[in-house]
Amino acid sequence: MAVTLDQTIAQKQRSRLAEFVGGQTFWVLIAVLLACLFLSFATDSFATSKNLYNITRNVTFVAIIALGMTLVIITGGIDLSVGSVLCLCSMVLAVTMNAGYSIEVGITAAIVTALVIGAFNGVLIAYLNFPPFVVTLGMLSIARSLAMVASNNTVVFQFGPDHDKLLALGGGAWFFGIANPVLYMVILALITGFVLRWTRFGRYVFAIGGNEHAATLTGVPVRTIKVAVYMISALSAGIAGIVQTGWLGAVTTNIGAGMELQVIAAAVIGGANLAGGVGTAFGALVGAALIEVIRNSLGLLGINAFWQGTFIGGAIVLAVLFDRIRNLRQSE
Amino acid sequence: MIDDSWRFCINAHNRFSGRRSAERDRRRLIGNRVTGGESRPAGSGEGSRLVAVLELTNISKHFGAIQAVNDVSFTLEAGQVVGLMGDNGAGKSTLVKMIAGNFRPSEGTMRLEGKEIVMHRPVEARQHGIEIVHQDLALCNNLTAAANVFLGRELRRGIGPFRILDYKTMYRRAGEIFKELKSETRPRDLVKQMSGGQRQAVAIGRTMLSEAKIVLMDEPTAAISVRQVAEVLNLIRELRDRGISVVLISHRMPDVFTVADRVIVMRRGRKVADKAIAASSPEEVTGLITGAIEQV
């Protein structure tokens, strides 16, 4: 009797590999790979190094923010302000450097801006129990407006004494010809993945999304964690803004407009559940990649660009549909 | 071997819930083990020989004009299951919340192992070895059983600020706890996929991480199937056999009469009965709850 109990308790129901293969992220990854395979045969221009370089680089801005967004979504929240925060941080960086300050000062100012905005969102949500949707919707409007105030709604393309450094930071390829933004994305994804799986903070993020009440009762510092999560989300938008500024070489007040929806789409396609409790860093990257491949392929295949929204929207619904079907089967 | 015979006793007992003799024998056997030779008859008049873990003296609690708990005194003894019964609004929850550190009593004192304690937050109660199993169990469905057991008390390894979750040890410890509880619960399974009894085991498993002295259980059998109730009652027995005193809040008369040694009945904030289960009957308790019998 005791032996069977031992065996039962020690039994692993499913290996981690099996779990991964059964998950939504895996199927989206397969879809991305199949699409790439198909495109490299169907078109001459897809599998060129220039196009792949472009794709990987375009993915990064959405992917970096999707990493932060994934944390927010895992806690059961949402952050609609990321596009505007990206714009504001880019603008703070641009204006500071334009005024003659060094790149270090500019980046510090941009990151502090991001953290302050994230803390503001987080405190309102965690301590005053505002719905995340409302607070971040307000911030979406506020941050973009502040960016316009900061720049007087002009385009900034002169970055003072460290102009070249900033362009190299965003537009260079310091490591084996891989575009710098891609490097940043990979590093940030590894950090996010590590934090989610191996730290107590990551565990608490999942616990809050799973059952916030239970987390509170068991002594998880729910409010602190929530504030931190919104700060990380804003920080990821700020980092993406800094990198994007270096890559574009100019900042306007309409960059990042509508980006929050792409970012949320990437996170959701990659397996994050808007109800909270589920999501991975790798999923965020895969989701962002699928969106970019769809966009790129439509152009290459000569399909009217107006169709883009339909395909991306279809991908969102399809990805979640797979998950629904799997859940239905499990519950039966 | 001994484990098997106990298990059989429990099963037999559950099947014929009227038969209490097997249960008594078993309890005496365990009593010998726990207290080291001293025989420990269940409940009844010899209770004074047991160690008082928690002593409540003239505890009252009022919220504004509402007198939720009125001048209640009782003692909890190690390795004893006390059923706390009463109608809705009788003051059971308020009483338990005071013991768990959620509320401070308006009047009266609490003594833990002879020392007076004043608690301001639930965390302090936990530090004193008082654990509570919440009615809704407070589980995160998206996490594994082990993660839920260790929630808020994760084990980590590493140096200084660079510490990572110690999955291996947590799985092993959680496995050991489930084994002690004799529950077929796998530490690596998601709580989402578990039965009511297994979920209860996870929630109870939390109380076994530290050296708990008192476990308060709020309606543990309210939301589960009849078959799983037996499983939960076994879990309660496992706690008792470890020398933990268990306070069981329940509406279900059969559960209290199956597992408890003593029953305390509350009505309108007052304690109206506190006696050994063997000396009481479901009819009497029902009368006490409804007020048909004033006081015993």
Mean pLDDT of A58-75: 94
Q: How far apart are CA A173 and CA A190, in angstroms?
A: 19
Residue of B97, B127, B135, B140 to mutate when probing chain A, most A C-beta within 10 A: B140
Q: From chain A, which residues contact B within 8 Å (Cβ)?
A: 1-2, 5-6, 8-13, 197-200, 203, 206-207, 209-211, 213-215, 217-220, 277-278, 330
φ/ψ of B42, rounded to 5, equals -75, 140
Q: Is the pLDDT of residue B223 over 70?
A: no
* A82 falls within a domain: yes
Q: Are A244 and A251 in contact (CB under 8 A)?
A: no
Encode pLDDT of A184-205 as tens digits: 999 999 999 999 999 999 999 9
* A127 falls within a domain: yes
Contacts of residue B139, Cβ cutoff 8 Å, sequence gap at least 6: A211, A214, B148, B191, B199, B202, B203
ipTM for the whole complex: 0.84
Mean pLDDT of B12-34: 41
In the sheet that B107-112 helps form, which strands lie side by side, from edge to edge? Answer: B66-77, B52-63, B107-112, B115-117
Binned at pLDDT 50, 70 and 90, residue B22 comes out as very low
pLDDT of residue B33: 40
Contacts of residue A243, Cβ cutoff 8 Å, sequence gap at least 6: A60, A61, A64, A169, A170, A180, A181, A184
Contact A214 B140 (CB under 8 A): yes
Binned at pLDDT 50, 70 and 90, residue B19 comes out as very low
In 3-state terms, chain A is what percent helix, strand and coil (to 5)? 75, 0, 20
Q: How far apart are CA A147 and CA A245, in angstroms?
A: 14
Binned at pLDDT 50, 70 and 90, residue B58 comes out as very high
Picking from B10, B52, B45, B53, the residue whose alpha carbon sits closest to that of residue B30 is B10
Judged by average pLDDT, the poorest of A299-303, B15-19, B49-53 is: B15-19
pLDDT of residue A282: 93
Q: Does residue A88 or residue B208 have the better pLDDT?
A: A88
Contact A9 B4 (CB under 8 A): no
* A69 falls within a domain: yes
Min Cα distance A158 → chain B (Å) is 41
Residue of A4, A9, A199, A224 to mutate when probing chain B, most B C-beta within 10 A: A9
- Chain B residues whose CB is inside 8 A of the A193 CB are none
Encode pLDDT of B104-133 as tens digits: 899 999 998 888 888 887 788 888 889 888
Picking from A253, A280, A250, A249, the residue whose alpha carbon sits closest to that of residue A267 is A280
* Torsion angle in degrees (nearest 10) through CA of A188, A191, A194, A199: -130
* A1 falls within a domain: no
Q: Which two tokens stand for residue B143?
A: 């996490």
Contact A207 B186 (CB under 8 A): no
Encode pLDDT of A209-237 as tens digits: 999 988 988 888 999 999 999 999 999 99
* A316 falls within a domain: yes
Domains of chain B by start residue, with CATH: 45-129+211-290 (3.40.50.300), 143-210 (no CATH)
Q: Shortest CB distance from B175 goes to which of A9, A13, A330?
A: A9
Q: Which CATH number fits the domain that encloses residue A225? A: 1.10.3470
- Total domains in chain A come to 1
Placement of tokens 């510092």 in the chain:
A221
Q: How far apart are CA B239 and CA B252, in angstroms?
A: 20
The boundaries of the domain holding residue A176 are: 26-39+48-324
Contacts of residue B261, Cβ cutoff 8 Å, sequence gap at least 6: B42, B43, B80, B81, B82, B276, B277
Q: Are A316 and A268 in contact (CB under 8 A)?
A: yes
Contacts of residue A278, Cβ cutoff 8 Å, sequence gap at least 6: A74, A209, A271, A272, B142
Encode pLDDT of A240-249 as tens digits: 999 999 998 8
Judged by average pLDDT, the poorest of A7-11, A52-56, A303-307, B254-258 is: A7-11
